[in-house]
Structure 1
């Protein structure tokens, strides 16, 4: 059905960047047809917000609100303020157009004393709001055509356009010819979705077309629009950057630099979530996981007549100090048994946190309810209402559908179908993963910290009970992380007395009411110690999968250098090769012998500097740094070229002389450096080698001593 919804307003620009006003904010609905898409302008649409009042009748201000600027009318209707609340009088305020909703809502909350008037249904994205209001599914009813376009960073920052990328092929030439190639390809393909390397590619191409005197139309109608400017924000202690967002008429725009779900789950996964959330594809592509989860919850709320709060009004209830200490904990993690272990099995609780919410009826409105006084939550004593919560109803179909997809994937031999299912499974996984954490997020519209605490309490109990059951059945638990357990046969238990894992998993599933699934078998697995002690690092291990699929890597890697984004490709490849050597010989000397060859290659200058690129996210403006770090040197070099980085963006560089403290310390990846600081990268390679050898008892000092003895022996042999 609907492909996208455009709101044509004063920000729409023609190809020559002149401002045009078309439709005064009317939504234009683009629906897929067999040979393209058709547009329908909805001139009757007017969005609504809701208002409630504390300590007085909201009807008393109906006439005042109806007379406000940008308001078409106000009526009193019955709605539920919360999931379990009775319907009450609320003011339905009809607003002239989507972009006036927030100003109107601000005026509404200023009517009385602070907190007297509260607004609902304010901050929904425009296309999502329209689809909900009109009951219009944003799921296209045919396969979508995509076209990928890209421009260079320099061109997006004002340099002349000298190359473009079209569906993976890069073309160079004069600006006019490149614009013509893009225009011809768009006309030929007639894509439904434009997949861009960066959203700023849209204004860059239009600027180039204007400069070259060429005609360019990226949309199904002329013009383009900036939806939002760039911004910087902090999430979970990390600084992130959100680039400006752009759109063109009649086509969904996906910005690869600003899309989580498209990167993780592709078009198939995105469309699955479009169907569940009713967020149009373009809005879903840039949305966060929590944003999409909230959209799914909002659909459920509207179906039940529950108002959607503008801001979270639910406060944490009083707790004693003892309860607070018991509750303020996360999932349980066991300390891993450092070393190499043979014949290891991994067991996972399928969708643990969502399954806990479903099976134990944990929802913001059911935990610590007022209608029961009993200890339903282990360790915390919280009660849980018997009435079904909204959250289990929201998550139930996601868990059920994902399990059905996994069964279908296992049963099909069609590679295309398997890929599509993989993407849909991946998309749902991220929603389920976030559903737990979002309950403890202070700005979650429907979240509540007590629900978050109750979920964790059940998860801790389930993991520890499972550990006890496995050990009683003759298995040794090597490690456990929240919802996963790694076990091997206990050496002091005869095989005939050991309970089969399948039988134990079935027993644990029945007790926990959450499925414990057999995830994988490993010929061996190595748990890595911490860098500063002999205790096990909680999330660092590697191993060999038993009977891997022909197309899969036989080895698994978690938390070590080759899985870290900042590790240069050469170092990551070397570490994987060292693990293969480890697998063959299970001997630290053999690993170090292979390492010696890698170090020799590195120090001889034979490594392509493109394989040594370091990528780092910057957290501040250049001027805010007081230390002369490598990243600062890279920012200085970027500034020399007229470019910059906002906090949350990344810099990519090769270290060329780490002994300096100036911009000469590094070269930008875009400068195509021909040299590198071999000793800097040798240090990184030794760190990676330590992760491989440490489970065998060799730390960095032992590795360096062995390499030095080997070098001395080689020199002695050469001297003879």
Structure 2
């Protein structure tokens, strides 16, 4: 039988009942898209009492598709000695999934390993191939892969990427509020507006575009929740074919909506539409799209090995989990199906000493000039790597590792950490507005989120390689790092205005340039053993107090302007998801106005301009000149509506939707307006035109005053006085105190 050599990039991989796997590649030589199949037997393991394992062996020895049974010894990270297991080899991944679920019910006392590992994770562990990996393979005349070698690495900083074809498809309006009249179809070759006529001509156009352009990635807005369900319904109703999949033998796969609990929050994930042979990415369902867009999504898929569609939709925690499983498989460590480890017993004193979070310092409330913010580079991941903190190795003595061989967790994090540093260095070699700089920053942001969640995931009770004692060791190391940094800074004559988890804010008379902080940063890095970077030097920064008690500082509530003119904001209304868009815009515009002051002398004029901007916003609101769509509040319901005894505004809006026949799930977001009279809220998804004059001006003026008060407070304006002026007018604001306040900065 003749064979062929093929080189190309792996785009998609999924189960195939007959052959094992189906794989789609983008050819390196002629830009074609080629489908291959591959046999892919898999192995999973069972452990338990000898009699139970013997019963399992008897049940499986004549099971169709089971190709081999063998007693082996394997390593479980939570067990000191090797574990006796029965290795079960199965002919195809699809058969293994079906068989395991039968056995789980039949043998409930057994412990299972490697039983629910995803196919993409198994594939990289065996072949090193990942989404968009460049591969060279040998295949027979029927495109059945005989051998495969990966030609590049997940950790390449500037990898050779395929020429992806991307097709965008979205409605002309938000379909959850208004009826769409047209669809917009766009690629790098064409752009069209398709009216939604009753004859379905738009279906013919979309199907023709899918056939002729043959996209690799279909990027949509509301694709999961509205667009693809609408198109498929219309296709069936009108009898017009619509080939969304590249694989003609497969229908669209729908993944059910789910509600789950994560880190103290109820999360809702809507139904998802997954394609075969090409990828569907819904910008409205993509978890971190606003942070890193498509470039970051592809980076996330490459390093985590999650399929592109899944990498777009799931949390970074699932990415870290997949990477840890890959590390375990490559080290021949068992992957537990269900974690059985429990927290070790601690006395009351041990709890007080160990069960603590990161170091949080009470900032010096007020306005400060010439302040440097220095950050440890991905501090918690660095502590994990530096201290070799992993569930299967002895815990470190604060920052001194107890074992030289890296455990599963630091071994997983080290290449992510190193690649992110390399990407940031590479990005600085381009002008800030260069397209490559933006792409590199997006990819770096994706890796940042993997590093951010790795620490929390280490303490997550259901994480396969989580252990609360390891989590506590990381926070202990982090606290020690900040204390050492504080000691160095104070020894060098700097005032520490604030410390928060992985950052310090330093001030010293005469220090206002980057070189003035180089020596102290070098000494901090030497004493802690961790890399530290200058985030920037503020022209001025304001640390805000509690809204309920002005004597109490709030560590994560501040804003300031760097010497570059960049504004940094934390804890303000503009950063909250439930703040109406218009109010966030007003607050952001006020901050931008303040940021234009390059010197202290220019700040009074900038403050007056910012307040004038606020005054104009108050007038527009009182004159009903703000479009209702900009005043929509983005709320959330955390429980079933029947479980609420007192109804919040979000619940009242959700009940309106329920009364209109819509299903509301726990964790689902609900958008609404505050209205005059009864009902006092209006659910935005009900649709229809809203009269701006019927919007509850008093409620929105309160929200506006809170946002404006956060900005003006450091400059001498009492938020309560501003609130009264906003609602009633006629109160003289102490604008003359501003100049005095600024002179003391």
Q: Name the TM-score, length of structure 2 as normaliser.
A: 0.83
1:78–1:88 contact (8 Å) kept in structure 2 = yes
Q: Deviations over 1:654-675 (max 9, x none)?
A: 2222x43x37656558434232
Match of 1:32? Answer: 26
What SS does structure 1 have at the residue aligned with 2:730?
A: helix
Match of 2:520? Answer: 504
Q: By how many angstroms is 1:71 displaced?
A: 4.3
Match of 1:147? Answer: 167
Structure 2 counterparts to residues 639-658 of structure 1, below 5 A: 639=658, 641-657=660-676
Question: In the aligned structure 2, how far is the partner of 1:336 from the partner of 1:712?
Answer: 32
Q: Deviations over 1:87-111 (max 9, x none)?
A: 5542221346545545533554566
Question: In the aligned structure 1, how far is the partner of 2:570 from the partner of 2:379?
Answer: 20
Match of 2:414? Answer: 396
Q: By how many angstroms is 1:616 displaced?
A: 1.1
Question: In the aligned structure 1, how far is the partner of 2:48 from the partner of 2:578?
Answer: 52
Match of 1:674? Answer: 691
Q: 2:627 aligns with which of 589, 603, 608?
A: 608
Match of 1:65? Answer: 60
Q: 1:472 to 1:130 in 2, by over 3 A?
A: closer
1:543–1:555 contact (8 Å) kept in structure 2 = yes
Q: By how many angstroms is 1:308 displaced?
A: 0.8
Q: 1:691 to 1:399 in 2, by over 3 A?
A: same
Match of 1:45? Answer: 40
Question: In the aligned structure 2, how far is the partner of 1:249 from the partner of 1:406?
Answer: 34
Unpaired runs of 5+ residues, structure 2, are 1-8, 135-161, 596-602, 734-745
1:155–1:204 contact (8 Å) kept in structure 2 = no
1:220 aligns with 2:240: no
Of the structure 1 ranges 394-403 and 260-269, higher mean CA displacement relative to structure 2 is found in 260-269
Q: 1:708 to 1:193 in 2, by over 3 A?
A: closer
Question: In the aligned structure 2, how far is the partner of 1:30 from the partner of 1:499?
Answer: 52
What SS does structure 2 have at the residue aligned with 1:260?
A: coil
1:77–1:89 contact (8 Å) kept in structure 2 = yes
Match of 1:525? Answer: 541
Q: Deviations over 1:195-234 (max 9, x none)?
A: 2323243343122112122121112233423242111111
Q: When the two structures are aligned, how many residues end up with a matched partner?
A: 676
Match of 1:193? Answer: 217
Q: 1:49 to 1:69 in 2, by over 3 A?
A: same
Of the structure 1 ranges 406-415 and 176-185, higher mean CA displacement relative to structure 2 is found in 406-415
Q: By how many angstroms is 1:524 displaced?
A: 0.3
Q: By how many angstroms is 1:287 displaced?
A: 2.9
Q: 1:605 to 1:266 in 2, by over 3 A?
A: closer
1:345–1:487 contact (8 Å) kept in structure 2 = yes
Question: In the aligned structure 1, how far is the partner of 2:612 from the partner of 2:179?
Answer: 51
Q: 2:207 aligns with which of 178, 183, 192?
A: 183
1:688 aligns with 2:707: yes
Structure 2 counterparts to residues 362-441 of structure 1, below 5 A: 362-368=389-395, 376-377=397-398, 384-413=402-431, 415-441=434-460
Q: By how many angstroms is 1:149 displaced?
A: 2.3
Question: In the aligned structure 2, how far is the partner of 1:169 from the partner of 1:326?
Answer: 63
Q: By how many angstroms is 1:470 displaced?
A: 1.0
Question: In the aligned structure 2, how far is the partner of 1:218 from the partner of 1:202?
Answer: 9
Question: In the aligned structure 1, how far is the partner of 2:105 from the partner of 2:647?
Answer: 49
Match of 2:274? Answer: 247
2:291–2:445 contact (8 Å) kept in structure 1 = yes
Structure 2 counterparts to residues 272-311 of structure 1, below 5 A: 272-311=299-338
Q: 2:564 aligns with which of 524, 533, 547?
A: 547
Question: In the aligned structure 2, how far is the partner of 1:666 from the partner of 1:279?
Answer: 36
Match of 1:82? Answer: 77
Question: In the aligned structure 2, how far is the partner of 1:4 from the partner of 1:499?
Answer: 49
1:30–1:37 contact (8 Å) kept in structure 2 = yes
Q: By how many angstroms is 1:358 displaced?
A: 1.3
Q: 1:221 to 1:713 in 2, by over 3 A?
A: closer
Question: In the aligned structure 1, how far is the partner of 2:401 from the partner of 2:727?
Answer: 64
Match of 1:350? Answer: 377
Unpaired runs of 5+ residues, structure 1, are 9-22, 369-374, 549-553, 715-720
Q: Name the TM-score, length of structure 1 as normaliser.
A: 0.86
Q: 1:625 aligns with which of 641, 644, 657?
A: 644
Of the structure 1 ranges 581-590 and 253-262, higher mean CA displacement relative to structure 2 is found in 581-590
1:224–1:247 contact (8 Å) kept in structure 2 = no
Of the structure 1 ranges 177-186 and 683-692, higher mean CA displacement relative to structure 2 is found in 177-186
Q: By how many angstroms is 1:681 displaced?
A: 0.7
Question: In the aligned structure 1, how far is the partner of 2:616 from the partner of 2:300?
Answer: 49
Q: By how many angstroms is 1:708 displaced?
A: 8.2
Question: In the aligned structure 2, how far is the partner of 1:540 from the partner of 1:397?
Answer: 33
Q: 1:604 to 1:169 in 2, by over 3 A?
A: farther
Question: In the aligned structure 2, how far is the partner of 1:94 from the partner of 1:245?
Answer: 32
Question: In the aligned structure 1, how far is the partner of 2:353 from the partner of 2:613?
Answer: 49
Q: 1:275 to 1:172 in 2, by over 3 A?
A: same
2:525–2:531 contact (8 Å) kept in structure 1 = yes
Match of 1:371? Answer: none
1:575 aligns with 2:568: no
1:529–1:694 contact (8 Å) kept in structure 2 = no
1:119–1:310 contact (8 Å) kept in structure 2 = yes
2:377–2:532 contact (8 Å) kept in structure 1 = yes
1:122–1:310 contact (8 Å) kept in structure 2 = yes
Structure 2 counterparts to residues 4-15 of structure 1, below 5 A: 4-7=12-15
Match of 1:14? Answer: none
Q: 2:113 aligns with which of 120, 137, 146?
A: 120
1:313 aligns with 2:368: no
What SS does structure 1 have at the residue aligned with 2:77?
A: coil
Q: Deviations over 1:379-430 (max 9, x none)?
A: xxx9833443232222221111111111111112481221221111111111
| TM-align CA RMSD | 3.3
Question: In the aligned structure 2, how far is the partner of 1:667 from the partner of 1:243?
Answer: 18
